Every structure is written in structure tokens, then in C-alpha cells.
Amino acid sequence: MAGQLIVFEGIEGAGKTTQLQRAATWLRSQLTVPVLTSREPGGTFLGQQLRSLLLDVRQQDEIEPRAELLLYAADRAQHVEQYLKPNLAQGAIILCDRYTDSTLAYQGYGRQLELGLIEHLNAIASGGLTPNLTFWLDLDPEIGLQRITERGAPNRLEQEALDFHQRVREGYMTLAQNHPQRIIRLDANTAADDLEQEIRTILQTRLSETGYESFSKNFSKNFSKNFSKN
């Protein structure tokens, strides 16, 4: 079976990385197929260098919006060809921190570059690879930025003004409305344990529907165990 690409999206501090790691750990305990994690920018060696260029606050030059867009596209083109496609072809389930919707939300809605141009560039950079499922962790940017500030030094994009992050959130809202089958909204202002449980339930349903039978069996076993505790 070809693998599955499952993406976690949202504004800064929404809890994507936290939930992605938890979902990966759980899926590995449930499935025999490889469960991999990756991120954009920075999922390849070249991507890690692009990531430092894009996020380092010590950049001497202010990065122009179109230059920024093209750097994210270059990172994606490399990531898709070198990492995502080969591993999906081997049947892996890949959980990816950000993908094409981030470019539409940040460079499209946030920077206000032309959406049609970004869609075209996304198609080129992704080589037509679209996610099977996208979790959108939706959070008020004021809360997200507060979480980031408490954690430590914010990166270049995290330092953008609040109205930029509000536009990004509105972008995600529009994308979710336009792709209701693929993008699932989660209220990220929820305890991490509750979110984790919600994500497990959705993954179980979606992956069972896609034919992951061993998953269903394992899940039933675990479900009975949990159920009998109550």
C-alpha cells in the first residue's frame, strides 16, 4: 500500500510539534508499517540550511516576501523528492510539521502575496503531492505568541506583529472551509492530553477506512483494555 502523508498545521505555538510527536509515538505502538516524522522548513540537509536562512533573527538583510516565498518552495521541492515521495512509496506513514497550507496561510494571507501564484508554486514544489489528512490546530494568536514568549527567544516570523498572525489564522480558516474533507479543525486551546486523545480517535477512523487492518485489530484490543478500566 502507498503510504499516508498526515500534516499538522497552525499558527505559532498552537502545539503542532507536541501533538505530532505524541501521535507518532502512539501510531508506532499500533502499526507495523514505518511511522516517520518530518517538518518544513528543514526536512532535508539542504532544508536545514534554508531553515536557518529563513528563521534566524540575525539576518542582516530584510528578506523580501517573494524571496521568502521562493526559499520555502525550494525547501519543499527538495523535501518532497528526497524524503516524502521515496518513503511514501515504501508504504510509510509520515507525520509532517507544516506543508503547502503554511505557504498559503503565511505568504498568501500573512504577507498578502497573490494566492494564485502561490497555488501554482505549491503545485510545482510539491510535484502534485497532497496530504491525505491535515490537522489544523486552531488557536487565538495572542495565546500562541504568549506560549512562544514563555518558551524563549522568538524566531524571525514569530516576531511579526499580531495582525500578521491574525491574517494567517484567517487564512487557515478559509483553507479549512475550502477543503472540509482533508482539513480537520481542532481547538488548540484545549489541554494537550485531550487534544492527543481527539487526534488518536480521528487517526484510528481515517486509517481504518484506508485499509490499515492490523491497526483496527490492535486498536480494538487497546480499546477493550481501556474500556474495562472504567
Beta-ladder partners of 6: 95, 133
Taking each helix axis as running N to C, give the angle between helix 65-79 and helix 115-126, from 0 to 180 degrees, rounded to the nearest 10: 30
**How far is it, in rounded angstroms, from Cα 27 to Cα 202?**
12
Of 3, 10, 108, 131, the residue at the interface with ligand T5A (CB under 6 A) is 10
Segment interacting with ligand T5A (CB under 6 A) among 9-17, 30-38, 83-91, 219-227: 9-17
State which residue, 33 or 50, has the beta carbon closest to ligand T5A: 50
Number of residues that bind ligand T5A (CB under 6 A): 27
**Cell numbers linked to 127:** 510535484
Angstrom distance (rounded) from CA 140 to CA 132: 26
Q: Cβ closer to ligand T5A: 17 or 174?
A: 17
Is 120 among the residues that bind ligand T5A (CB under 6 A)? no
CA distances from 133 to 63, 85, 206 (A): 31, 16, 8
Amino acid at 78: Q
102 near ligand T5A, rule: CB under 6 A: yes
By CB under 6 A, tell whether 40 contacts ligand T5A: yes
In the bound state with ligand T5A, the residue whose beta carbon lies nearer, of 147 and 182, is: 147
Residue 204 near residue 219 (C-beta atoms within 8 A): yes
Binding status of residue 72 toward ligand T5A by CB under 6 A = yes
Alpha helices in 39-84 (DSSP H): 45-55, 65-79
Residues within window 126-155 making contact with ligand T5A, judged by CB under 6 A: 147-148, 151, 155
CA distance linking residue 171 with residue 148, whole number of Å: 21
From the list 11-19, 28-36, 169-177, 217-225, the region that binds ligand T5A by CB under 6 A is 11-19
The answer to whether residue 192 forms part of the interface with ligand T5A (CB under 6 A) is: yes
Peptide bond into 131 cis (omega under 30): no
Among 7, 16, 79, 126, binds ligand T5A (CB under 6 A): 16
- Among 38, 103, 134, 204, which residue sits at the site for ligand T5A (rule: CB under 6 A)? 103
Q: How far is the CB of 97 from ligand T5A (least distance, A)?
A: 6
Q: How many residues does the structure list for the chain?
A: 230
Q: Which residue has the cell 472551509?
A: 177
Among the listed residues 6, 12, 38, 125, the single contact to ligand T5A using CB under 6 A: 12
Query: Please, what sign has the CA dihedral across residues 129, 131, 137, 140?
Result: positive
Query: Binding residues for ligand T5A, per CB under 6 A?
Result: 10, 12-18, 40-41, 55, 72, 97-98, 102-103, 106-107, 147-148, 151, 155, 157, 190-192, 195
